[in-house]
Amino acid sequence: MREYWNSFASLLGVLAFCQSLLQLIFPPQLRFLCLKFFNRIFHLFSSYCYFDITEIDGVNTNELYNAVQLYLSSFVSINGSRLSLTRALNSSAITFGLSNNDCIVDTFSGVTAIPDLFLRPLPEEKRGFTLRIKKKNKSLILDSYLDYIMERSNEIRRKNQDRLLYTNSRGGSLDSRGHPWESVPFKHPSTFDTLAMHPQKKQEIMDDLEDFANGQSFYQKTGRAWKRGYLLYGPPGTGKSSMIAAMANYLSYDIYDLELTEVHNNSELRKLLMKTSSKSIIVIEDIDCSVNLTNRKKNNKRNYCDPEVRCGSGSACGGEDGGNSITLSGLLNFTDGLWSCCGSERIFVFTTNHIEKLDPALLRSGRMDMHIYMSYCSYHALKILLKNYLGYEESDLDYHVLKELSDVVDKAEMTPADISEVLIC
């Protein structure tokens, strides 16, 4: 590594010397021609090729430049003698960057040969980076290395950035950038540690989420869209919304809270879906209340004008796109159809207090992969609440008190929300 650095640095030194010599002796035009000539000679005999990644590409900003900048921040240690510090919008993390004329030698092991990659910031008047690759490795690694940088930078960005909670509560109107979603930083403190439920069930859900997040190759191999559906059901105050927040915090995903009553038709639903990003949880809360989703058979036999298969307040007819309400089939397409696969690594979560009101089509396996019953407070859940609110471990409590609690808690049919209120007082 050091070898490459030294040879490159000495080459730069020679070039800088030639340049200053030229400045002294020749007029600017001749100087320019000479430099061009030297450059040609240099590149002809060099075993490397060079790529400039500039900040601005014509009038557009260069996405690759930002990606490289972020990627390099993962290399630079705080011990460096001179570093640039940045903090991006919506980010709580500070990233480090190279200052001018510093360079980094990277090795990329995605291919058989280990290529020499050399990233160096361009001089200040032209902000950018130079990437140096051995000529013989150029075709072998260039594309895959750049893809790798883009992927890594997205990962770093996601890790550094505050997660966002999106809503479509403005109805169908778009913001100034043409986005149908509005967002605020997502700061819900619920985690799987604070969630009161049976530890075994909790672990099952965490394992399932983990498998999903790490399952890219499985989904590719089996030809399945990389998405997963969870249906959370149970009485009010049993932690369905808290579970969604815990999932998002566990996986570091954004949340899209879809307000179905604000969606006018199926095509609008599709557009909303298209504008969601990967690594996100798309939530429809209280699905039985937001839409009338019963009796899909009628939906199939009759037409979309049947008020029983429509949702929202409007009931004007007009087919899938012309009307002002969405249909059950539109919603099923949203979660399951071809459009659900635009983007990847997305989780759908539906919640309901009344699972019996939902159409079997929504419940069939494959559509909602996991049905999670959020129950009244059990003894195990109670122990977690006692720890959260009062700091009591099981060992801090008297055996008889514990026995009494375990006897009464199931019969009491109290929700974790009820018990939390009692414990706060």
Ligand X SMILES: Nc1ncnc2c1ncn2[C@@H]1O[C@H](COP(=O)(O)OP(=O)(O)OP(=O)(O)O)[C@@H](O)[C@H]1O
Residue 383 contacts ligand X per CB under 6 A: no
Contacts of 272 (CB under 8 A, 6+ apart): 168, 180, 181, 256, 258, 263
416 binds, among Mg ion, ligand X, none (CB under 5 to 8 A by kind): ligand X
DSSP 194-235: T--S-HHHHHHHHHHHHHHHT-HHHHHHHT--SEEEEEEE-S
Token match 């604000």: residue? 262
What is the nearest approach in angstroms of ligand X to the Cβ of residue 285? 6
What is the nearest approach in angstroms of ligand X to the Cβ of residue 58? 50
* Nearest to Mg ion of 361, 381 (CB atom): 381
237 binds, among ligand X, Mg ion, none (CB under 5 to 8 A by kind): ligand X
| 242 vs 215: CA distance, rounded Å | 25
Residues 69-88 that bind ligand X (CB under 6 A): none
The stretch near ligand X (CB under 6 A) out of 33-41, 49-57, 237-245, 339-347 is 237-245
Residue 238 contacts ligand X per CB under 6 A: yes
Residue 409 contacts ligand X per CB under 6 A: no
* Nearest to ligand X of 188, 271 (CB atom): 188
Q: Give me 343's structure tokens.
A: 């983007």
195 binds, among Mg ion, ligand X, none (CB under 5 to 8 A by kind): ligand X
DSSP annotation of 238 reads S
> Are 367 and 175 contacting, i.e. CB atoms less than 8 angstroms apart?
no
Residue 239 contacts ligand X per CB under 6 A: yes
List Cα–Cα distances, 87 to 95, 110, 162, in angstroms.
6, 30, 12
What is the nearest approach in angstroms of ligand X to the Cβ of residue 396? 19
The stretch near ligand X (CB under 6 A) out of 119-127, 218-226, 257-265, 413-421 is 413-421
Of all residues in the shown chain, the one whose CB is closest to ligand X is 239
Q: Give me 289's structure tokens.
A: 């209340």
Residues near Mg ion (CB under 5 A) are 240-241
> Are 304 and 327 contacting, i.e. CB atoms less than 8 angstroms apart?
yes
* Nearest to Mg ion of 240, 296 (CB atom): 240
Among 72, 119, 165, 197, binds ligand X (CB under 6 A): 197
- Count of residues in the chain: 425
* Nearest to ligand X of 194, 267 (CB atom): 194
Residue 22 contacts ligand X per CB under 6 A: no
What is the nearest approach in angstroms of Mg ion to the Cβ of residue 242? 8
* CA neighbor of 182 nearest in space, from 191, 169, 192, 193: 169
* Nearest to ligand X of 261, 420 (CB atom): 420
Q: Give me 346's structure tokens.
A: 């997305």
Q: Give me 333's structure tokens.
A: 């397409």
Residues 101-130 that bind ligand X (CB under 6 A): none
Among 64, 72, 195, 362, binds ligand X (CB under 6 A): 195
Phi, psi dihedrals of residue 134, rounded to the nearest 5°:
-60, 135
196 binds, among Mg ion, ligand X, none (CB under 5 to 8 A by kind): ligand X
> Are 418 and 235 contacting, i.e. CB atoms less than 8 angstroms apart?
no
* Nearest to Mg ion of 240, 279 (CB atom): 240
| 361 vs 355: CA distance, rounded Å | 12
Write out the residues near ligand X by the rule CB under 6 A.
194-197, 236-242, 353, 374, 416-417, 420
